[in-house]
């Protein structure tokens, strides 16, 4: 007989096997299972074995696991993609997330296997390199990092564009704009908007490639620079910090916000888009776990809206508000006027 006072064990068991889920997805993506399924009429066990160069035993195990995860469904002796896999895990599709999965597998997961080291040392556990401890250095950020983040950023940019009214903005500086997903998304939503991606010189090369392939290329430029080593370029009536501040500790975050204040004209707008931890620091889960990810890989963490409000007011900003929304890379924006 079940004890009615017994705590729920099922939820705890799901936590213990979370690694199994992520690594099954990573393996399936590395073997291009979903792209192969989309190329024809699905895959048989023998078909996957031949495609991936593996034996039929692991092929069958992998197909079964992906089906249980809701990424494949069985049709007779063949397995085909579900709608989720077909939209997000097939190479060449607009919102292909496979590069993001690959980036996590190569870049993030190894550090997670040493997360206790981060907790004990109050320092990143991700292996960066003995010669250069800067995780943002060019040689430490492979192309898969930028390609992997693009669809995640593009989906988040679309949600941000709907949540925060930028109709009165004519010129936006996207600080740390990386792959230009936000500049492209916001300019696509607002036809009178022009944007500049401000990032390290080697990052701007990635930005240019994305910009040139977009329909709004004529309204987006790049400005190479280092936002900690120099002042931000003036001449913009809005600045965006999207998924930037969580990379840094409070002192550096405050310093960057102060630079934004100096760069903006009176009445200028600053938008901070992040996965915000709630003010009570009890969740939500996606923000709390992203903060753990920052612990593993950076000197930052995910902050609360209240913390950002304090930083902004201390820097001289006014009319500080929080706008909640739902997106893969953010759950809200903190918006302030200079």
Positions marked active-site: 246
DSSP string, 80-136: EE-HHHHHHSSTTSTT--HHHHHHIIIIIHHHHTTHHHHHHHTS--S---SS---TT
DSSP-derived letter for residue 241 is E
Q: Residue 162: how many CB atoms within 10 A of its CB?
A: 11
Q: Residue 117: how many CB atoms within 10 A of its CB?
A: 14
Q: How many residues does the chain have?
A: 338
The dihedral built from the CA positions of residue 28, 30, 32 and 34, taken in this order, carries a sign that is positive
What are the distances in angstroms from CA 25 to CA 47, 110, 185? 19, 16, 28
Helix or strand or coil: residue 251?
A: helix
Q: Burial of 223 by CB count in 10 Å (0-12 exposed, 13-18 middle, 19+ buried)?
A: middle
| Tokens 């919102």 found at | 95
Contacts 24+ apart (CB under 8 A), 85-90: 85/34, 85/37, 86/34, 86/38, 88/151, 89/29, 89/34, 89/35, 90/34, 90/35, 90/38
Backbone φ, ψ for residue 278 (5° rounding): -70, 160
- Cα 288–113–293 angle (5° rounding)? 25
Paired with 241 in beta bridges are 272
């Amino acid at each position: 007989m079940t004890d009615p006072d017994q705590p729920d064990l099922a939820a705890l068991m799901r936590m213990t096997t979370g690694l199994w889920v992520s690594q099954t997805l990573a393996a399936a993506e590395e073997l291009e299972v979903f792209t192969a399924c989309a190329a024809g009429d699905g895959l048989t066990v023998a078909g996957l074995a031949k495609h991936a160069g593996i034996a039929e035993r692991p092929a069958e195990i992998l197909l079964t696991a992906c089906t249980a995860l809701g990424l494949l469904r069985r049709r007779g002796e063949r397995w085909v993609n579900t709608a989720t896999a077909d939209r997000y895990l097939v190479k060449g599709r607009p919102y292909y997330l496979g590069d993001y999965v690959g980036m996590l597998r190569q870049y993030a997961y190894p550090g997670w296997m040493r997360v206790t080291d981060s907790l004990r040392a109050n320092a990143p556990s991700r292996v960066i390199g003995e010669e250069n401890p800067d995780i943002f250095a060019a040689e430490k950020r492979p192309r898969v990092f930028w390609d992997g983040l693009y669809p995640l950023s593009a989906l988040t940019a679309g949600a941000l564009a709907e949540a925060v009214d930028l109709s009165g903005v004519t010129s936006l500086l996207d600080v740390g704009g990386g792959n230009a997903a936000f500049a492209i998304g916001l300019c696509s939503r607002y036809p009178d908007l022009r944007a500049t991606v401000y990032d390290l010189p080697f990052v701007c090369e990635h930005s240019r490639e994305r910009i040139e392939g977009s329909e709004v290329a004529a309204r987006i430029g790049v400005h190479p620079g280092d936002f900690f080593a120099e002042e931000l370029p003036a001449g913009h009536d809005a600045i965006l910090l999207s998924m930037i501040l969580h990379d840094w500790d409070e002192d550096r975050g405050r310093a960057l916000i102060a630079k934004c204040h100096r760069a903006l004209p009176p009445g200028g707008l600053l938008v901070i888009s992040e996965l915000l931890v709630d003010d009570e620091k009890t969740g939500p889960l996606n923000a709390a776990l992203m903060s753990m990810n920052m612990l593993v890989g950076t000197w930052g963490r995910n902050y609360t809206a209240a913390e950002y409000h304090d930083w902004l007011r201390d820097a001289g900003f006014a009319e500080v508000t929080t706008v909640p929304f739902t997106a893969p890379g953010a759950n809200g924006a903190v918006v302030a006027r200079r």
